[in-house]
Amino acid sequence: MFAETPLTKMPSLPQNPEDSSYWGMFEDCIYLNIGENENISIYGRASACCWEMFKGCASLTKTPKLPSGIVGEKAYMSMFEGCKSLTKAPELPATRLYPETGNTFGFNYAYMFKDCTNLTAAPELPAEEITAGCYLGMFQNCINLVTGPSILPATVFADRYSHTQELKWCYSNMFKNCAKLEKAPELPALILTQDCYEKMFFGCNSLNYIKCSATDISATDCTVDWVAGASITIN
């Protein structure tokens, strides 16, 4: 709607968007920002509701609050991708991530902060019910990110409805090229699935320790290049 316009201020919007309703709404609005005294909340329960909403908003320094306890498929995918002035991420309190209808894919937070080169700390991610691809590339290329979430608490990477179909790419590329990352999240899952940690910490040159509880890493490419480029002790 407003993509690539000289908009500087975010207009008033409903807090509960429907499917795809804010998709790319402010993409490449390079002058857009949210005032310090503005209090804006968006609930991301609907499918793709905020996909690429602020992508490429190079002047954005403040985000809306995202208080939803449940996040729909692709709801926040690439929402702040390329927001190079963003230094602080919003809190993400969701405990349930919804999959795509008819399969396990969700991509709920995929690429959400990709290329946010001034972001220094990741928010906590408390969801225990996750989907395939949910955190794919979430902080990829955040070259000034120092601190990750304290823990990624999901312990079962399987479809919670059938309990048989494995979830793929859950954390693939999540912190790829975060060269200043010093604190990685604890990884309590015991059984890994295909591609789940693929390139997760690739290029994290400052990282030297990861607490990982996995005992079964037999799944295809589950740890391929996951710590490539880093000198890490895994315990």
Q: Give the closest residue to 17 by CA, choosing from 58, 71, 95.
A: 71
Q: How many other CB atoms are there within 10 angstroms of residue 15's CB atom? A: 12
Using DSSP's 3-state secondary structure scheme, residue 207 falls into coil
1 vs 46: which has the higher pLDDT: 46
**Model pLDDT for residues 25-70, shown as the tens digit of each residue:** 999 999 999 877 678 899 999 999 999 999 999 999 999 999 999 9
For the chain, domain boundaries: 1-235
Instruction: Name the CA dihedral angle for 19, 82, 3, 93, rounded to a multiple of 10 degrees.
Output: 30
Q: How confident is the model at residue 10 (pLDDT cuts 50, 70, 90)?
A: confident
Sequence-ordered list of residues with C-beta below 8 angstroms from that of 146, at least 6 positions apart, any chain: 120, 121, 180, 181, 182, 183, 206
pLDDT of residue 99: 86
**Model pLDDT for residues 120-167, shown as the tens digit of each residue:** 999 999 999 899 999 999 999 999 999 999 999 999 886 555 555 678
Q: How many other CB atoms are there within 10 angstroms of residue 78's CB atom? A: 26
pLDDT of residue 160: 57
Q: How many other CB atoms are there within 10 angstroms of residue 233's CB atom? A: 9
pLDDT of residue 12: 87
Cα radius of gyration rounded to whole Å, the chain: 17
**Model pLDDT for residues 76-101, shown as the tens digit of each residue:** 999 999 999 999 999 999 999 988 87
Using DSSP's 3-state secondary structure scheme, residue 186 falls into strand
